[in-house]
Amino acid sequence: MPKVVDAARVTTPPSAVWRSCTTCDHLVPLAPDTARCPRCQHLSATGPAFTERELAEARADLAEACAHCRTRLDRIDAVNAFLTGYLGTVVTAVLGGRNDGGASLRRAAALYAVRKQVIA
């Protein structure tokens, strides 16, 4: 009864050895002086060739960076909404003639400075 090993021997070119391609990690028959499969040799000739593992790692890094940016933007939006509401209240109080000795304006200036630091 023939085995898979026998079929592989029949289909393997002379002097080729079954090894993993260094680019795509697929098991292919390669000549002794070759490290990449024919598909990857073509890809590397036309541009950079990345392994599937490298692409998966890059996708994961990008997803993590996007999640971090989304969290930061949400935090900035929350601070912006709070400060906009607070500054609106302070301006209304000052324009309405309420006199607290400028404490509201000093507090608003301090909060505005915090807002600039969070956004930067």
Sketch the domain layout of the chain as residue ranges. Answer: 1-49, 52-120
**CA 103/CA 114 separation, integer angstroms:** 17
Determine the distance from the C-alpha atom of residue 42 to the mean position of all C-alpha atoms in its chain, rounded to a whole number: 28
pTM value surpassing 0.75: no
Mean pLDDT, consecutive 10-residue stretches, the chain (120 aa), reads 64 79 83 83 60 77 80 76 68 54 64 68
Q: How crowded is the C-beta side of 17, counted as CA atoms within 13 Å?
A: 7
pLDDT tens column, 42-60: 665 555 556 677 777 888 8
